[in-house]
Structure 1
C-alpha cells in the first residue's frame, strides 16, 4: 500500500500523455476522456500519496498502530 498512490500517479500521467504519444489526439471524445480521467486520477493519487508521506493517511500499518 505504501507505493500504490505513486503507481496510480504514473498510470494517470500515461493516460494524459497517451492520446499524443499514440496518435489519437484528433479523436475528440477519446482524447477528452483520457485526459479528464487522468487528471482526476492524478489529483487523487497525489493527495493520497502526500497524506501517506506526511503520515496522515489511514493505511494498513496505521490501522494496526491505532489499536
Structure 2
C-alpha cells in the first residue's frame, strides 16, 4: 500500500476544517461555519472509516503487503 498514510492526513485536514471557524474568527458567519463543520465531519468520518479498514486489512506496518498474496 503506497499511500497508507493518506486517511490520517485527510483526518488532520478534516479536524482543521472543524476548528478553522473558531481559530480564524469567522464563527459568527453562520453559513461558512456550518459548511466547514459539515464538510469536516463528513471527511473525518470517511477518513477514519478508511484508515481503520486499512489497519484491519494490512496492519500497522508498511511491509505487510507481501503476506497477503
TM range (shorter): 0.7 to 0.9
Deviation >2 Å, runs of 4+: none
The RMSD of aligned alpha carbons is 1.6
Where does structure 2 lack aligned partners over 5 or more consecutive residues?
Answer: 59-63
Match of 1:32 among 13, 31, 34: 34
Tell me, which stretches of 5 or more residues in structure 1 are unaligned? none
Aligned length: 60
- What is the TM-score when the length of structure 2 is the normalising length? 0.80
Give the structure-1-normalised TM-score.
0.83
